[in-house]
Amino acid sequence: MNVLWDGGPGTVAQVLAALGQGRGAPAYSTVLTTLRILEDKECVRHTKDGRAFVYHPVLERQDARRNALRFVLSRFFEDSPELLVQNILDDEVDARELRRLRKLIEKRK
pLDDT score at 88: 87
Numbered ranges of CATH 1.10.10.10 in the chain = 2-57
**pTM to 2 decimals?**
0.78
Could you please state the CATH topology (level 3) that the domain comprising 2-57 is classified under.
Answer: Arc Repressor Mutant, subunit A (1.10.10)
DSSP 17-52: HHH--STTPPPHHHHHHHHHHHHHTTSEEEEEETTE
Q: How far is CA 61 from the centre of its chain?
A: 6
pLDDT score at 59: 95
pLDDT averaged over 10-residue windows placed end to end, the chain, 109 residues: 97 95 89 97 96 96 96 96 91 89 90
pLDDT score at 21: 82
pLDDT score at 58: 97
Beta-carbon count within 10 A of 10 CB:
20
pLDDT score at 57: 97
